[in-house]
């Protein structure tokens, strides 16, 4: 990445600001421990008391487990003020230091329209939430990416209870369908067709979240195309408007870079190419750009972790040659 020696300079400039947040980190840590102790310990004592009165294992375990569930529900609200302040005072200046033409929005997200336009998901999401939006120009290429949680609302009838044995009330719950990183960039190769590439269903790491990345080839009239790169075929399955379109877009060099990227991230990857854009979804649970709560903020190792989060996709721009307009003004076959 062409940011060196920028990272080192950015780190030393931000060290005083990072150290200034240490008292708030410690206060957040203490508040979190106090909340857990203040809920779980009384719950445990209550369970022991009920058990000694003649209750069973349920009476012993239910109060502390309920208390722990409540503590887990309250924890994000206790951590949020510190996390938001850290991203405002540290991550945003770091981005401006390293990437002059790229902006960072801690509470921003890629648009739900981008997810829909990508053709990577089986059905539209009811809602999309996200954070850590990086957007702007990098090496003369328009890029944007963020963490994304896509969910659908599911209706179910309320369970019958002794007080309401015929409960017919419908409950709406959020079902997370996709959680990961979503990336959009200019694709300078002229496009007059669609190429949609999904994780191979036989991949051992394909879990229930990644299963949301299902092809929509039946809707768009796309056909399955076999590629000649064994390494690429091991990770991906390709659908395109035609075999000629797939082979024209996915050159041997491009397939090699995408397979290498897939192996580097160690998570299911799906991408599509059409309308002059490259869309990519990476099904990972890793939280980007998060401050450590139980360790020193100013550690060089921690700072390097932030750089790796961003470099993951910015390096992709270079690796795929998205910053080089080398194809001219040709057309699809």
Assess whether pLDDT exceeds 90 at residue 123: no
Least confident window among 244-253, 266-275, 315-324: 315-324
What would the pLDDT profile of 139-191 be if each residue is shown by its tens digit?
Answer: 778 888 888 988 887 776 555 444 445 555 566 777 888 888 898 988 877 66
DSSP run (H or E) holding 154? strand 141-157
Report d(CA 292, CA 68) in Å as an integer.
22
List the chain domain ranges: 1-98, 101-157+171-290
The band of 209, judged by pLDDT with boundaries at 50, 70 and 90, is very low
- Asked if the peptide bond before residue 32 counts as cis, ω within 30 degrees of 0, the response is no
Q: Average pLDDT, stretch 280-305?
A: 82
The band of 40, judged by pLDDT with boundaries at 50, 70 and 90, is very high
Q: Average pLDDT, stretch 67-86?
A: 90
What pLDDT score does 170 carry? 62
What pLDDT score does 31 carry? 93
Helix (H, G, I), strand (E, B) or coil at 127: strand
Calculate what percentage of the chain has a pLDDT beyond 70: 80
What would the pLDDT profile of 136-152 be if each residue is shown by its tens digit?
Answer: 887 778 888 888 988 88
Contacts of 199 (CB under 8 A, 6+ apart): 206, 210, 213, 235, 236, 237, 268, 269, 270, 283
What pLDDT score does 164 carry? 46
Report d(CA 113, CA 277) in Å as an integer.
13
Are 185 and 277 in contact by the 8 Å Cβ rule? The answer is yes
Mean pLDDT rounded to a whole number for the chain:
79
As a whole number of angstroms, the longest Cα–Cα distance in the chain is 82
Calculate what percentage of the chain has a pLDDT beyond 90: 15
191: Cα within 13 Å, side-chain hemisphere: 20
CB atoms within 10 A of CB 127: 11
Q: Take residue 112 and report the two structure tokens written for it.
A: 């739900």
What pLDDT score does 68 carry? 93
Q: Which of 216, 258, 256, 262 is nearest to 240 (CA)?
A: 216
166: burial class by Cβ within 10 Å (0-12, 13-18, 19+)?
Answer: exposed
Report d(CA 185, CA 326) in Å as an integer.
16
Strands of the 277-282 sheet, one edge to the other = 102-105, 127-138, 141-157, 170-186, 277-282, 269-274, 195-199, 236-240, 223-225
The residues facing 188 across adjacent strands are: none
DSSP run (H or E) holding 271? strand 269-274
Report d(CA 129, CA 303) in Å as an integer.
26
């Amino acid at each position: 990445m062409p940011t060196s020696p920028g990272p080192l300079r950015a780190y030393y400039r931000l060290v005083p600001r990072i150290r200034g947040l240490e008292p708030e980190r410690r206060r957040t840590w203490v508040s979190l421990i106090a909340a857990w102790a203040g809920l779980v310990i009384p719950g445990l004592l209550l369970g022991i008391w009920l058990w000694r009165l003649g209750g069973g294992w349920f009476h012993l375990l239910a109060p502390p487990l309920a208390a722990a569930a409540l503590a887990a529900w309250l924890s994000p609200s206790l951590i949020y003020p510190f996390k938001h302040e850290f991203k405002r005072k540290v991550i945003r200046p770091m981005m401006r230091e390293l990437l002059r033409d790229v902006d960072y929005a801690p509470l921003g997200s890629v648009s739900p329209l981008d997810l829909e336009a990508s053709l990577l998901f089986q059905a539209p999401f009811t809602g999309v939430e996200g954070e850590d939006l990086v957007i702007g120009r990098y090496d003369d290429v328009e890029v944007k990416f963020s963490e994304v949680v896509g969910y659908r609302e599911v209706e179910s009838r309320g369970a019958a209870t002794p007080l309401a044995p015929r409960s017919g009330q419908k409950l709406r719950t959020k079902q997370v369908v996709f959680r990961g990183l979503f990336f959009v960039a200019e694709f300078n190769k002229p496009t007059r067709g669609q190429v949609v590439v999904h994780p191979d269903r036989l991949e051992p790491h394909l879990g229930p979240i990644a299963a949301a990345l299902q092809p929509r080839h039946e809707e768009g009239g796309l056909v399955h195309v076999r590629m000649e790169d064994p390494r690429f075929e091991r990770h991906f399955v390709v659908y395109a408007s035609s075999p000629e379109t797939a082979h024209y877009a996915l050159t041997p060099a491009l397939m090699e870079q995408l397979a290498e990227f897939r192996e580097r991230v160690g998570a299911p990857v799906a991408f599509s190419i059409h309308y002059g854009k490259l869309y990519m979804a990476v099904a990972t649970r890793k939280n980007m750009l998060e401050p450590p709560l139980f360790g020193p903020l100013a550690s060089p190792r921690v700072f390097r972790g932030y750089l790796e989060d961003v470099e993951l996709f910015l390096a992709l721009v270079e690796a795929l040659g998205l910053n080089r307009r080398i194809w001219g003004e040709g057309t699809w076959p």
